[in-house]
Structure 1
Amino acid sequence: MSATTPPPAGLHAWLTTEDVASTRQARLGRLYRGWLLLLRNPPALAGLAVIALLILVALLAPLFAPYDPNVQAMDRALLAPGAAHWFGTDEFGRDVFSRILFGARTTLTTTVLVTVIVAPIGFLVGATAGLLGGWVDVALMRVTDIFLAFPGLVLALAFSAALGPGLENAVIAISLTVWPPIARLARAETLTVRGSDYVIAAELQGAGRGRILLHHLVPICAPSILVRLTLNMASIILTAAGLGFLGLGVQPPTAEWGAMAASGRQYLLDAWWLTTVPGLAILFVSLAFNLLGDGLRDILDPRNG
């Protein structure tokens, strides 16, 4: 093909094997630098370790749990922590340690489902508002402001009460409170790059709004949204625990940390472990996501790359 022959399949046809290799090396270099920055951040590394442990426990809970989390044995009710039951037993004689392990599965499932739902919704709403502007921007942002006007937990309680208790409804209720900050962030990132040279060049080459959205805005917004989602996971866990504590989340006998803390509050003086253990689990996991989010914010900062 001569130098004047147009590319048969778009601009990517001009890329040589060396170009592709260089691109891969650049990406690997960025990943390696990011890993080095993570190693230099002990709090973020500790948060990552706790989250990795959470995932491992959630996936392998049936192998790690010494007892069935739902089997009741009234002759073992309210046993203090010991060799047979590391975290004691609850009012129904169920092993608290086993229920904590299975509760990690419930917590991780809720967090992942909410994140998968709110990430594309928040990005599409914010990027569409910033890219199109005009009345579309005004309408979408006013709807976003309405959701932001209410405290997240209060709004989640309202939606959960309207939809009814259960895991699926809790995921929907929490998702409806988490997407607005993502939309605001995506809009701000879009407004920053909307008038940039490469976006204007893409428009002059005939690229549609959809192509600009996917091929230009997604790579720009992804780092900021990733950090925001990681930080939001802590609030997702706390909101899910709050719904479970009030009886609007996952229903018994399914193990859930918030519901476990609620069931033990009437035994707080005599069986402190019923509320302390799930409360500490919520604390450590929420703190781990916050620490990891802060670390990712430093790693993805362009000034560090």
Structure 2
Amino acid sequence: MSMSHQTARSSTSATTARPRSQSVQTAINILTFLLKSPTSAFGIVVLALLILTAIFAPLIAGHDPYMQNLENTLSPPSAAHFFGTDELGRDIFARIVHGSRITLTIIFLVTITVGPIGLFVGTVAGYFGGKTDVVLMRVTDIFLSFPSLILSLAFVAALGPSLNNAIIAISLTAWPPIARLARAETMTFRGADYISAARLQGASPARIIWKSIVPMCLPSVLIRLTLNMATVILTAAGLGFLGLGAQPPMPEWGAMIATGRRYMIDSWWLVTFPGLAILCVSLAFNLLGDGLRDALDPKQMTKR
């Protein structure tokens, strides 16, 4: 009896270890594929620098981003102030470095909100079809009929200008594309043999959606989320520029451009460096999303 139990236990552990090793190997293959592409590698490097900058901001900045020095206002880039100073004498480099924390916070919170909402709405609509599909997709179409920035402005105007409300507004407007994609993927898989077999075994719709359909939708949703992050960053910067996002004196990149636009003719560095920060991070997400799309392409995976 003990030998049979040990044999069963070892076979079970081998079975569970095999999928884990396969998933790890798949992740390594995808990362290797991304690093081989110059554009994807650029996106990974920029996003890694963004994360490291946000983590070690106090060590990198060199100056207090909130400290004013009215005797050194609108100073051009120099050895003392790499990106110059603003109209209140604050170090722009320090403010951009600390602003990376705000940008990363927006990206993280929007991602963990938009992904589950879009997956839930899309998979439920695609799996059940009928009236459920009609109702959920018409609500999705209503959200999609408005430009994301305009709809975000409406939500922030209703909730009040603040960073938290801007994140809520962006999340409320960013989930519809994810839902449409998840619905299309679900409608492709719901007639598969393994879904029919799960139904015959008595699996509930919730279990089928969670265990069988959601994992199949994740690669496409991950790509879409990555590509959407560029739009999220631009929307957050737009809200900050209009004074409806992060409020002064927070060093948010869009708000920095808004305050610096009055001096941009003579003091170009006020808007140039925050704008370049927004450009680089948005471009990095677009390039990484394109690389993920190629890496997760079944044709590419068969070649590897």
Q: TM-score, normalised by structure 2?
A: 0.94
Offset of residue 15 of structure 1: 6.0
Higher helix share: 2
After TM superposition, the structure 1 = structure 2 runs for residues 136-285 of structure 1, keeping only pairs within 5 Å, are 136-285=132-281
1:57-136 matches, within 5 Å, as 57-136=53-132
The separation in 2 between residues aligned to 1:85 and 1:35, in whole angstroms, is: 37
Further displaced range: 283-292 or 37-46? 37-46
CA–CA distance in structure 2, aligned partners of residues 187 and 262 of structure 1? 39
1:16 CA drift (Å): 3.1
Shift of 1:86: 0.4
**How far did residue 245 of structure 1 move?**
0.2
CA deviation vs aligned residue, 1:226-256 (integer Å, no higher than 9, x gap):
0000001100000000000000000011110
Figure out how many residues of one structure are paired with residues of the other and give that number.
Answer: 295
User: What whole-Å deviation, never above 9, does each CA across 1:86-122 have from its counterpart, x for those lacking one?
Assistant: 0000000000000000111111101111111110001
State the SS of the aligned residue for 1:16: helix
> 1:294 corresponds to which letter in structure 2?
D
Distance 2:202 2:222 in 1: 30
1:303 lines up with 2:296 in the alignment: no
Deviations 1:105-153 (A, max 9, x none): 1111011111111100010001000111110100000000000001111
Counterpart-to-counterpart distance in 1, 2:28 and 2:63:
42
Task: Give the one of 42, 47, 51 matched to 1:51.
Answer: 47
Specify the SS of the correspondent of 2:149.
helix
Distance 2:121 2:234 in 1: 25
Residues 15/205 of structure 1: CA separation in 2 closer, same or farther (3 Å cut): farther
For the residues of structure 1 that align with 2:20 and 2:171, how far apart are their CA atoms?
35
Deviates more, 1:120-129 or 1:33-42: 33-42
Gaps of 5+ in 1: 2-11
Amino acid at match of 1:303: K
Match of 2:81, SS state, is: coil
Deviation at 1:270, TM superposition (A): 1.0
1:28-43 residue pairs with structure 2 within 5 A?
28-43=24-39
TM-score of the superposed pair, with normalisation by structure 1: 0.94
Q: Deviation per CA, 1:43-83, whole angstroms, max 9, x where unpaired?
A: 00110000000001011111111111011110011001001
What residue ranges of structure 2 are gaps of 5+ in the alignment?
A: 2-7
Tell me the secondary structure at the aligned position of residue 264 of structure 1: helix
Q: CA RMSD for the aligned pairs? A: 1.5
Q: Secondary structure at the match of 1:88?
A: coil
Shift of 1:195: 0.7
